Structure 1
């Protein structure tokens, strides 16, 4: 899982370089930028709400075969195939009631380098310009209310990310994570596999000692574990959405094939 996903041209936000930069708001939000992202990282605080609408899992970061301890990120599954998000329509509309914070923070992001945090933007975001929309900086070079709200949101996301890693560290310590084995067979014969994703092993969870379960409760983790497990019930919805995308694509594909086979007009 790439940590920056749909960010194309990340640049540090600078009050001199970007003093005239404005953010134009559309009448209807367009999430087309996330249409080719099949999973995003989520924060621990989002898990109870996200589990109502999405499948959640733990994504392996880097190469699982590489030396060193395997690292994971808590993730929301948005599609079964590479470069496909089944929650974003052709019009760029997000079709689920809750939109993950990772998506909502775009086009802003915090870059971390040796414990130094820098607010950045995706310079290629089409709604950035120097003529229309709300400014990011005041004439005095201070963040406007718009920019400050986004900075506060980024900082909260960053704090939640740390709490999420503590949660994952506890799951690893208890050896509760196992590789997902969910597959889907398409009519075309293509088999899809949830590669690189891990789930909590419910059998191992039930085998924990009373003291270990009590510790999970004290840390506030037990309810979150069950939120993740309940989210797996959304797998059928994920498959239904994918089937809907495939069915919607068929007429276009048929039309294109017909054009190729049609005889030339004289």
Structure 2
């Protein structure tokens, strides 16, 4: 978060905000942050990858094939069965200052308002989080330790040198224009020493390693979604024509 506003009664005095009413804010984000607590749901509904950001590895859901377009978002609605936690907590996050975590809002998100507009208050008169803020704060508090665990697990996998770029056999059929997507090299993982393998198990890295590779079976969803949710300027096909009676696919257009 390059331009955070620390959320507190003091820093938010005289300010309001406009909680998102849909997920249009994610429409240009092809890579959605995830944490290990989301593995089971996310890996069954989208391909996962790890990417390096500022020399740190991050777990992401791959929701598009090119920059600037999220295939899972159309008309402000999330099309997939599972909605990642990042989508539910945006534009808030927990950032670390020293040894403490504090709630912050992205100033560049476009949701900030002044206290004299129709926006929602951050806090009540007695300094407690107002309803919309309290809901996000509760989610962020629940997610934070899982995010920390995920970061440590990914660092352990990186130290074991088992990350490898997505192969051409995956990227070429997708026409993938995104760079830096990695999975786990299964041969490299099988060849690590017993000591390293135990270290990976202790750091809870193994479930992430397995989920990364298993989730690649979901890349077919990107191909299908590209046919019904093309970038602006392209004409998508009808949903019925693409999905037909395929019982393996389930998309929620009402949530």
Q: What are the Cα deviations for residues 81-130 of structure 1, in whole angstroms up to 9, with x where unaligned? A: 111111110x1111012111122111222333444543222455448564
Name the SS for the 1:228 alignment partner.
helix
Equivalent residue number for residue 102 of structure 2: 118
Give the unaligned 5+ runs of structure 1: 63-69, 253-266
Stretch deviating more after TM superposition (229-238 or 120-129): 120-129
Q: Distance in 2 between matches of 1:251 and 1:144?
A: 42
Cα separation, partners in 2 of 1:212 and 1:118, compared to 1, 3 Å = closer
Give TM-score scaled by structure 2 length.
0.76
Whether 1:54 aligns to 2:50 is no
Name the SS for the 1:192 alignment partner.
coil
Q: RMSD of aligned C-alpha atoms? A: 3.1
Q: Distance in 2 between matches of 1:14 and 1:162?
A: 23
Give the unaligned 5+ runs of structure 2: 237-255
Equivalent residue number for residue 9 of structure 2: 15
Name the SS for the 1:163 alignment partner.
helix
Equivalent residue number for residue 78 of structure 1: 63
Give TM-score scaled by structure 1 length.
0.73
Whether 1:34 aligns to 2:34 is no
Q: What are the Cα deviations for residues 61-88 of structure 1, in whole angstroms up to 9, with x where unaligned? A: 24xxxxxxx4311111111111111111
How far the C-alpha of 1:179 sits from its partner, in A, is 1.7
Q: Distance in 2 between matches of 1:14 and 1:214?
A: 42
How far the C-alpha of 1:143 sits from its partner, in A, is 2.2
Q: Distance in 2 between matches of 1:118 and 1:13?
A: 8
Q: Distance in 2 between matches of 1:60 and 1:31?
A: 25
1:1-266 to 2 correspondences below 5 Å: 4=1, 10-16=4-10, 18-19=12-13, 21=15, 29-62=21-54, 70-89=55-74, 91-123=75-107, 124-126=109-111, 130=115, 132=118, 135-181=121-167, 182-184=170-172, 191-209=175-193, 212-213=196-197, 216-217=200-201, 219-246=203-230, 249-251=233-235
Name the SS for the 1:112 alignment partner.
strand
Q: Distance in 1 between matches of 2:230 and 2:137?
A: 39
Name the SS for the 1:223 alignment partner.
helix
Equivalent residue number for residue 262 of structure 1: none
How far the C-alpha of 1:201 sits from its partner, in A, is 0.7
Q: What are the Cα deviations for residues 215-247 of structure 1, in whole angstroms up to 9, with x where unaligned? A: 544554433322221111011111221233339
